[in-house]
């Protein structure tokens, strides 16, 4: 039983949907919705690699993240107008890129780059985690497109990857914080997990009082349950 | 009869829809679709004006424009990552802002600013014109919101404004160019017109050979017919 | 008869002069004066093209625009010190470049780039139009220089191009607005026209009330008369 | 027993020293050395707060991070010359700031800001963790300075905070990775812990294969042992 | 006797002219020509001071420097387009500002700022020195304008200031290097001197072999002779 | 006899030390201390030259300068965070680079670049001069390193170079101004001199009243005496 603001049970995800093919021009794309949060993920394929990888016979996967100015309750500055990306934006896009590369066989890609853009259309907490979960679908679809075009012979993804944020709310560990919960949680941890059960990234932050080892483990258990649902949704979305 | 690439008649708009309320957090919003082109327009209200207008008892309406990196056939640079907005982006957002101000009674707003963000989700030609048409709907809805909140006593919009691009395609003046037509047109003109029949902006450019006075007039006549349809769709969208 | 602030007749240009050879080092140059407005135009030739044109056997013409900080009544920021060009500057330099390319046979240039710099020494309205008219002279002279150097066998300019702004002042269409007139005009339109009578660009903007089709046509007629004079001055300046 | 490149035991820190008072002008300062890694931490006090906190009667603690161009094996770009801080730099300085705020009673500070600068003089792995550990000493000393000056009546630090990186090296969890170990580790986790035993931040990343829950716990246990030593060194450095 | 490239005697200035009133809108202005070098200097008055001087009852004089892209033999980048001023530009404008402040009674100005813009129209060596000499005339005229407007009761300039570059050319000290001489000189020194005989700035640089004390003194003597002529021209230009 | 704030005699340097080998990773390095002022100089070797020198068979020596934010009495902005280097920083790093190149046989280097970074750890006046003196030691050591690695056959340094600032304090010429003296000096001159007695750079500035020829000469004599001591310290530091 939980009395969290959302009324959800402690271990309940928000309603989740993964809609593939949302962007007409992209090689792979997906809109992920987790409750009100909505992120458009597009995967773009380019037949070359960044300078530091040239001639090494391997590929690269990278990500960029953005938020529409009015994705949020009050309008934020447009980063393009301000002339630079915030530290938060850069931190998130680096995390998305690392998470995707952790389950990609870069050697199997050959010399190509896939750039996954995650653009938040509506924000209500958990945008970085939703981006990772949706980005995997877009990336998978882009690789399938390349396979159909005979650019690669097999899909270089070795596993699924998905992410969810958990937190300690009013003393209770809860799954999938929305914005109202996140802004009042005592602690907040994002887990990026693989289909095979491994941890790719864990980022836990105490907002108020520090948290304990037991709390960290409780959050991790919730995240495993939550990502299990997300992995099933991903497989549906890509037809696996 | 026309043999334009789209197969449309010379005076036919693409299928148009204006979906109000698309952005959950914004005071006013609208997704406009013209064929494949799709633009999310959000209007954000803030209770103050830019420094150059302070203390003058009037309001301000401004616009920003952006394109998601993979709105286009091949991925474009993210302007936020590149650290500046292109000349094209700035030109377009200045045009949208001027067009909206042309039909707004700034005095009647009081000291408030409405920023309309036009973000292109999918691009297939005509994004600046679609932005103007959709922005008017978002702006109208935001003003209605302010009226319901008793911030203003009447909607400061004096008229409707909408825009459409026309061009000379293979010698024939045609309405509402899509991307394939635009890239091969001899001339291209964007018309921003008011519900009352006036011209707010006209921007005509000869891509190949210069065009004649008669061609300019033919394009203007097509634009009048096209915007008449757009004005009807706008009224539907805002419940007028 | 007109009662415009300048005292000029409705269809009268300001005194115009085009002084060729004003910049010692440039391949082609010209100072254009229209009344008080004074713009230095220099054309610089470089034996290569931008990356997107390499290997295509054609040339490129581009333009940059700037205003000295105290060209205006009150000092403006130096764009180099502020670290970026304004949207207005970028809009103008894109317009100048397009206008020049519209009358240039890029194929006939071979792989070379001409950059025309238009720097406003004194501003009193109409600087973008004066820039185009003067830029054509600088470009013509630079091409003649290349011909004398046997870099090209004929001048790649197919026609003349000149520009003038017109406006509706106190209900009357008038030619060649100066700053005082421009800031109070109801509507304002810049026309870029060719020697052969074609329209290259038209940019009309209603500052106050929208304007009508008839007004647009009246402005266009004034612009034709005005550019006829400018074309004659251009021919004098280049010795045609 | 461990065969890690450094020859250290799996649970052995590098030689650590914390030298207080290293910067003559700063209110508090410290040089921390962990093996070859050397970071200068200075705490600067300013009697005002950032705009978003004004008038709320509380203070602020923030951090900036930098690396001298030749702190590393091969020279890196100077961020000031390149004109922006990298995503990595911003991520690290945000982490340092959050870690310090987690143990500071901001209300007890009154309206003042302490900026802690962490500048890496020599880098050999673990610079972000060393920065946090050294920054706490600099911050403590700066607060003591303010207390002696009667600006505050008690030191607003509620607890100690220190950080250490652990990793899985060749299958074995090991403490305090140096550069050679870090670049080949399978997984890498930074733990920011408090003197009272709580977790402030945990950032774990799988470089190669994902890691398991047991590995995460083993790394956490190593980090607890390592930070226990660091807390003792910190107390020595500030004379507690 | 001298065999310098210009054919001038060792102690001969290039032909110099100072044309006051060249910029219609500026409170004070001057075009200085030294041989082919040509700089437009404008002085703009603003009734406030920079933040660091507010409320101190004194004024400020500052300078900005720029070069038109085609002032030089081959076109240089436009600094506004590149998005930043070069180190050379900043160095020069700081020098001009210091030189003018050295002869200005800032207290006597009251709270006003004069910004002197020095824009090089044509460059042939010695642009920074010419800028200083011309800037003094523009500044003097602007102060006279303020005096006539009764903003100040007397001209706050305490003395004249002018500058000239000297160099060692092929073993011989020579006055007023032009571009061809400057690029081959062994040493090069800019002297900023006052009407009263004092040294405000000296900047000597050995381009090849270091120079001796005697050479430094010889260059200083040449500079004194050269600036004597410049002071006379300045007095003519301002009607003293 | 002198009553300067520091209590030093008019011709006395502050205590000077040059500690070679201070930076573990650099090919050459040195910490220079002049009184409280402390600068870390590192020389980094790279086997290529900037584009403008490619294929000319010569090398390049360049310098960058920075100041840690809290090197000064009150914290300064971090230039990397502000996004650009100040004019002062650029001026100083250009001066250091020119000074080093004046005593380097660039032809003898072959195609390599040495970048000398001068980072001020503590500032108390004279940082640019200390940087030059220390940079020479770092550069010498880096060249010796290259010689031992058989990259070059002899050290390309032709002479020593060192710098010192002198000033007129309360009417008396004094050597090696510290911060307190510098901020009140009437005039201030930096001299960059060679071991062989030549002048590489002289930069004199009147802060208050202009200075005379005699004062300039007196300052130069003091600088010669001061650099003689610095040259001896440099030779000790590099084992000459």
DSSP-assigned beta bridge partners for residue B30? B20, B41
Least confident of D54-58, E13-17, F234-238: D54-58
pLDDT 10s digits, C141-169: 999 999 999 999 999 999 999 999 999 98
pLDDT value at residue B2: 61
pLDDT value at residue F2: 61
User: In sequence order, what are the residues at sequence separation of 6 or more whose Cβ sits closer than 8 angstroms to the Cβ of residue A225?
Assistant: A11, A175
Tell me whether residue E67 is in a domain. yes
Grade residue A2 by pLDDT with cuts at 50, 70 and 90: low
pLDDT value at residue E6: 86
- Indicate yes or no: CB of A64 within 8 angstroms of CB of B78: yes
ipTM: 0.93
- Indicate yes or no: CB of D24 within 8 angstroms of CB of F122: yes
pLDDT value at residue A209: 82
| Whether residue C40 has pLDDT greater than 80 | yes
Please choose, from the candidates A196, A176, A198, the residue with its C-alpha nearest in 3D space to the C-alpha of residue A185: A176
Task: Please report where in the chains the tokens 């709390």 appear, as a residue.
Answer: A215
For B70, which of A89, A117, A121 is closest by C-beta distance?
A117
Burial label for E153, CB within 10 Å (0-12, 13-18, 19+), is: exposed
Both structure tokens of C32 = 């254009």
CA distance E122 to E70: 8
F120, F64 in Cβ contact below 8 A?
no
SS3 at position F211: strand
pLDDT 10s digits, C184-199: 888 899 999 999 989 9
For B72, which of A25, A71, A79 is closest by C-beta distance?
A25
For A115, which of B42, B75, B115 is closest by C-beta distance?
B75
Distances B85 to A84, B69, B98 between C-alpha atoms, Å: 10, 13, 18
pLDDT value at residue A186: 86
Tell me whether residue E3 is in a domain. no
By DSSP bridging, strand F60-67 and strand F113-122 are parallel
Grade residue A168 by pLDDT with cuts at 50, 70 and 90: very high
For B199, which of C87, C194, C210 is closest by C-beta distance?
C210
Average pLDDT, chain F: 95
Burial label for D174, CB within 10 Å (0-12, 13-18, 19+), is: buried
* Secondary structure percentages of chain D, helix, strand, coil, to 5: 35, 30, 35
E contact chains, 3+ CB pairs < 8 A: C, F
Distances D70 to D74, D78, F45, F79, F237 between C-alpha atoms, Å: 7, 9, 11, 17, 20
- Indicate yes or no: CB of A70 within 8 angstroms of CB of B46: no
Tell me whether residue A2 is in a domain. no
pLDDT 10s digits, D42-98: 999 999 999 999 999 999 999 999 999 999 999 999 999 988 899 999 999 999 999
CA distance E84 to D81: 12
User: In sequence order, what are the residues at sequence separation of 6 or more whose Cβ sits closer than 8 angstroms to the Cβ of residue D225?
Assistant: D11, D175
* Chain-centre distance for alpha carbon C31: 12
A15, A102 in Cβ contact below 8 A?
no
Average pLDDT, chain D: 95
Distances A110 to A106, B54, C230, E57 between C-alpha atoms, Å: 7, 58, 60, 69
Helices (H), ranges, chain C? 79-82, 87-101, 106-109, 127-148, 179-182, 213-238
Q: How many CB atoms lie within 10 A of CB D56?
A: 12
Domain that holds residue D195: 16-238
pLDDT 10s digits, C83-126: 889 999 999 999 999 999 999 999 999 999 999 999 999 999 99
Nearest 5°: the CA angle A99, A104, A106 is 120
| Whether residue C1 has pLDDT greater than 70 | no
How close does chain E come to C61, measured CA to CA in Å?
A: 15
pLDDT value at residue D170: 86
Tell me whether residue E218 is in a domain. yes
pLDDT value at residue C2: 61
- Indicate yes or no: CB of D75 within 8 angstroms of CB of F121: no
F140, F162 in Cβ contact below 8 A?
no
A contact chains, 3+ CB pairs < 8 A: B, D
User: In sequence order, what are the residues at sequence separation of 6 or more whose Cβ sits closer than 8 angstroms to the Cβ of residue D197?
Assistant: A210, A212, D224
For E94, which of F87, F94, F213 is closest by C-beta distance?
F87
DSSP-assigned letters across all residues of E124-156: SS-HHHHHHHHHHHHHHHHHHHHHHTTS-SS--
Tell me whether residue F9 is in a domain. no
Grade residue A185 by pLDDT with cuts at 50, 70 and 90: confident
Both structure tokens of F39 = 């600068």
SS3 at position E97: helix
CA distance C70 to E115: 10
B26 conformational bin, left if phi > 0, alpha if psi -120 to 50, beta if neither: beta
DSSP-assigned letters across all residues of B64-119: EEEE-TTSSSSPPPPHHHHTS--HHHHHHHHHHHHHHHTTB-HHHH-S-EEEEEEE
- Indicate yes or no: CB of C64 within 8 angstroms of CB of E81: yes
- Indicate yes or no: CB of A69 within 8 angstroms of CB of B121: no
pLDDT 10s digits, F74-120: 999 999 998 889 999 999 999 999 999 999 999 999 999 999 999 99
The torsion defined by the Cα of F103, F107, F113 and F119, in degrees rounded to 10, comes to 0
CA distance A34 to A70: 18
Query: Taking CA atoms, what residue in C is nearest to E87?
Result: C81
- Indicate yes or no: CB of D70 within 8 angstroms of CB of F36: no
Tell me whether residue F91 is in a domain. yes
CA distance C43 to C143: 9
SS3 at position C217: helix
SS3 at position A43: strand
Please choose, from the candidates F93, F111, F99, F102, the residue with its C-alpha nearest in 3D space to the C-alpha of residue F53: F111
Tell me whether residue E164 is in a domain. yes
How close does chain C come to B109, measured CA to CA in Å?
A: 17
For D206, which of A198, A209, A210 is closest by C-beta distance?
A198
How close does chain C come to E75, measured CA to CA in Å?
A: 7
pLDDT 10s digits, F20-32: 999 999 999 999 9
Q: How many CB atoms lie within 10 A of CB C196?
A: 12
| Whether residue E164 has pLDDT greater than 70 | yes
- Indicate yes or no: CB of F121 within 8 angstroms of CB of D85: no
Grade residue F5 by pLDDT with cuts at 50, 70 and 90: confident
Please choose, from the candidates A30, A27, A1, the residue with its C-alpha nearest in 3D space to the C-alpha of residue A17: A30
| CA torsion through residues D6, D9, D15, D18, sign | positive
Percent of chain F with pLDDT over 90: 88
Q: Rounded to a whole number, what is the distance in angstroms from the first to the last CA of chain C?
A: 34
Q: How many CB atoms lie within 10 A of CB E170?
A: 13
E14 annotated to bind ligand: no
* Residues on chain F touching D79 (C-beta within 8 angstroms): 80
How close does chain D come to A208, measured CA to CA in Å?
A: 7
Buried b (16+ CB within 10 A) or exposed e, F58-93: bbbbbbbbbbbbbbbeebbebbbbebbbbbebbbbb
SS3 at position B234: helix
Please choose, from the candidates B157, B184, B175, B128, the residue with its C-alpha nearest in 3D space to the C-alpha of residue B238: B157
Least confident of A80-84, C8-12, E56-60, F220-224: A80-84
* Residues on chain F touching D117 (C-beta within 8 angstroms): 68-70, 75, 78
CA distance B49 to B57: 9
* Residues on chain D touching F69 (C-beta within 8 angstroms): 42, 44, 64, 115, 117
CA distance B102 to B132: 12
CA distance F235 to F233: 5
- Indicate yes or no: CB of D206 within 8 angstroms of CB of A87: no
pLDDT 10s digits, E182-224: 888 888 999 999 999 899 999 999 977 899 999 999 999 999 9
Predicted TM-score (pTM) of the model is 0.91
pLDDT 10s digits, F126-141: 999 999 999 999 999 9
The total number of residues written for chain A in this structure? 240
Give the count of domains, chain A: 1
SS3 at position F198: coil
Grade residue D2 by pLDDT with cuts at 50, 70 and 90: low
- Indicate yes or no: CB of E202 within 8 angstroms of CB of F189: yes
- Indicate yes or no: CB of B70 within 8 angstroms of CB of A121: no
**Residue D151 belongs to domain with CATH number:** 3.30.230.70
- Indicate yes or no: CB of E23 within 8 angstroms of CB of C122: yes
| Whether residue B166 has pLDDT greater than 60 | yes
Both structure tokens of E42 = 């404008």
Tell me whether residue A163 is in a domain. yes
The torsion defined by the Cα of B193, B198, B199 and B200, in degrees rounded to 10, comes to -80
| Whether residue E1 has pLDDT greater than 80 | no
| Whether residue D184 has pLDDT greater than 90 | no
* Residues on chain C touching B227 (C-beta within 8 angstroms): none
Query: Taking CA atoms, what residue in C is nearest to B223?
Result: C213
| Whether residue B6 has pLDDT greater than 90 | no
Average pLDDT, chain A: 95
Both structure tokens of F6 = 């520091």
CA distance F98 to F20: 22
* Residues on chain A touching B75 (C-beta within 8 angstroms): 26, 44, 46, 115, 117
* Residues on chain B touching A79 (C-beta within 8 angstroms): 80
- Indicate yes or no: CB of D44 within 8 angstroms of CB of F117: no
Helices (H), ranges, chain D? 79-82, 87-101, 106-109, 127-148, 179-182, 213-238
Cβ–Cβ pairs < 8 A, chains A and D: 93
Buried b (16+ CB within 10 A) or exposed e, A166-191: bbbbeeebbbbbbbebbeebbbbbbb
User: In sequence order, what are the residues at sequence separation of 6 or more whose Cβ sits closer than 8 angstroms to the Cβ of residue F215?
Assistant: F168, F173, F187
* Residues on chain E touching C74 (C-beta within 8 angstroms): 25, 44
Average pLDDT, chain C: 95
Q: Which uninterrupted H or E stretch holds F107?
A: helix F106-109
For F198, which of E87, E202, E210 is closest by C-beta distance?
E210
Write out the residues of chain B at the interface with chain C, using a CB-CB cutoff of 8 A.
84, 86-88, 90-91, 93-94, 98, 102, 189, 193-194, 196-206, 209-213, 215-217, 220
pLDDT 10s digits, B36-80: 999 999 999 999 999 999 999 999 999 999 999 999 999 999 999
DSSP class of E11: T
* Secondary structure percentages of chain E, helix, strand, coil, to 5: 30, 30, 40
pLDDT 10s digits, A15-27: 999 999 999 999 9
């Amino acid at each position: 039983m939980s009395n969290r603001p959302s009324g959800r049970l402690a271990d309940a995800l928000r309603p989740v949907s993964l809609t593939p093919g949302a962007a007409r021009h992209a090689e792979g794309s997906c809109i992920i919705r987790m409750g009100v949060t909505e992120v458009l993920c597009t995967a773009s394929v380019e037949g070359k690699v960044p300078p530091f990888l040239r001639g090494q016979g391997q590929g690269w996967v990278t990500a960029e993240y953005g938020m529409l100015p009015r994705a949020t309750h009050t309008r934020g500055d447009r980063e393009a107008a301000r002339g630079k990306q915030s530290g938060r934006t850069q931190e998130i896009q680096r995390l998305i890129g690392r998470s995707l590369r952790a389950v990609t066989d870069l050697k199997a890609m050959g010399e190509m780059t896939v750039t996954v853009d995650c653009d938040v259309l509506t924000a209500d907490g958990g945008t970085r985690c939703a981006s990772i979960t949706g980005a995997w679908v877009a990336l998978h679809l882009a690789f399938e497109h390349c396979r159909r075009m005979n650019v690669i012979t097999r899909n270089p993804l070795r596993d699924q990857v998905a992410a969810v944020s958990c937190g300690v709310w009013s003393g209770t560990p809860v799954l999938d914080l929305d914005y109202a919960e996140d802004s009042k949680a005592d602690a907040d941890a994002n887990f990026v997990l693989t289909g095979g059960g491994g941890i790719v990234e864990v980022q836990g932050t105490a907002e108020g009082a520090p948290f304990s080892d037991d709390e960290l483990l409780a959050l991790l258990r919730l995240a495993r349950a939550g990502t299990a649902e997300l992995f099933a949704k991903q497989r549906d979305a890509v037809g696996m």
